[in-house]
Structure 1
Amino acid sequence: MIRALEYCMEYPHNVFEHVPEDFETIRSKLPHWRRKEIARYFGFDPGSIRALEKITEQALLAGHLTSFQRLYSDSIYRNVFHHVPILNEFLFEFLLCAYRKGWNRKWDILLLNDIVLKFPDDKKAEEEPAAVFSIYEELKRKKPEKRIRSVESLYRAERKLIQDISEKGFTGIDRTYPPPPIGAEEWMNPIETRKELFLESVSQHNCVFDYDSDIIEGKYYIYRIFFPERCTLSLFQVNGDWYVDQVAGNFNGQVHVETRKKIENWRLQNGIFSFGDVFRMGIPPAWIYDR
């Protein structure tokens, strides 16, 4: 029996919106059914059996059967599920970020294969799935034809993009961006013009200037943080809600715990959402689709 289907039988309330009244009667018969019939009963595509086998225990416990169900119906994600070796928690959260942002490009499967190996369930990753996806999205938007084969090549391509932005210099007309979702504070300021954004990109050695057009359209906003350390914060907007995208130091480096805590408190006080806390708090991933 596939572990994912066993999990469905053990915890039907995590799969069904409303558990059927006759479930206890049916449960005793399920072990004698064919796997495809069991999958269909729990609402899965019968053709997803081989992919269901790849879901890790940690991903099951995190509630990602719901994620699998929804994403598998989309050919963009179905292709991923059939080509990667395992479906772990990091990969699901990475793909959910893509789904929420309306990703519709072809995937670099070699990169996704490397992601599940670099970020296994039994090892806490320093990187957040949302941050890794943001880098990937940024690169593919700028250079859609570029093939990304590994996490290392992803970071290498990002460094090259940062260098290109710096060397190109500021071009075009300076203009003021739309009002920020949250105003300035003593320790942080919203970046309000194109020239300021370019200078932030150069001084911090990152790619935020690539978000110029998205900021103009109201999809993103960038903040310059001065304390507890110098870093850059990006937010993105979906259906009127703002989410934390990335927090990065110089050269897109990791920021200190103290900085993360300060930003987290600011986020909560101002009604800014985060994918990460949704999963940590145990809210079902279906929340992502229902916002």
Structure 2
Amino acid sequence: MNLLFIFIVLEDLHPKEFLNSNTVYYPICPLGDTDNIIQIKNNIALASEGRAMHHCVAGYGSSLLEEKSYIYKVINPERGTLHISRNGDNFDINQFKLVCNGPPSNDSYKIIRQWLKQKERQ
């Protein structure tokens, strides 16, 4: 078997973030987590989310270090990835995507908006 082929297969199975032993931790969002909305807190989890959801969320890693945006794994009402940004004391939805960048339902958006408004009032 060709060594180049082995490397390409391994790279597909283990993105560079997994091959690199340095875990980068992102700032904790003041909104916290729920059972169904969970902040992605490091580069390894971010790469895993991108692979699981078949989208490019891992490319946002460097922007998460600035404490101005945060990425969440959404479990229910639909499995998705949520990107929110901080605007003073408020938070805005940048993107909310399902697998392969599919659009979430209106009900899912409504639940996410309610969660954000509830957390902003606390």
Within 5 Å, give how 1:85-234 maps onto structure 2.
167=12, 169-171=15-17, 172=20, 173-234=22-83
Higher-RCO chain (CA-CA 8 Å, sequence separation at least 6): 2
Query: Does the residue aligned with 1:202 lie in a helix, a strand or coil?
Result: helix
Note if 1:257 corresponds to 2:103.
Answer: no
Unmatched runs of 5 consecutive residues or more in structure 2: 1-10
Q: CA deviation at 1:245?
A: 0.5
Q: When you count strand as a share of all residues, which structure comes out higher? A: 2
Q: Is the Cα contact below 8 Å between 1:170 and 1:195 reproduced in 2?
A: no
Quote the residue 1:48 is aligned against: none
Question: Counterpart of 1:211 in structure 2: which amino acid?
Answer: Y
Taking every aligned residue pair, what percent have the same amino acid on both sides?
27
Q: CA deviation at 1:238?
A: 3.9
Distance 1:215 1:257 in 2: 26
Note if 1:247 corresponds to 2:69.
Answer: no
Runs of 4 or more above 3 Å deviation: 238-241
Q: Is the Cα contact below 8 Å between 2:91 and 2:116 reproduced in 1?
A: no
Which of structures 1 and 2 has the bigger CA Rg?
1
Unmatched runs of 5 consecutive residues or more in structure 1: 1-165, 273-291
Quote the residue 1:278 is aligned against: none
2:116 to 247, 251, 267: 267
Question: Counterpart of 2:31 in structure 1: which amino acid?
Answer: I
Q: CA deviation at 1:193?
A: 1.0
Quote the residue 1:118 is aligned against: none
Alpha-carbon distance change, 241 to 258 in structure 1, aligned in 2, over 3 angstroms: closer
CA RMSD of aligned residues (A): 2.1
Quote the residue 1:86 is aligned against: none
Query: Does the residue aligned with 1:195 lie in a helix, a strand or coil?
Result: helix
Q: When you count helix as a share of all residues, which structure comes out higher? A: 1
Q: CA deviation at 1:221?
A: 0.4
Q: CA deviation at 1:242?
A: 2.5
**CA displacement, residues 164-187 of structure 1 (integer Å, 9 cap, x when unaligned):** xx9481334212211113111011
Distance 2:28 2:74 in 1: 18
Question: Counterpart of 1:270 in structure 2: which amino acid?
Answer: K
TM-score by length of 1: 0.34
Question: Counterpart of 2:108 in structure 1: which amino acid?
Answer: T
**CA displacement, residues 140-171 of structure 1 (integer Å, 9 cap, x when unaligned):** xxxxxxxxxxxxxxxxxxxxxxxxxx948133
Quote the residue 2:4 is aligned against: none
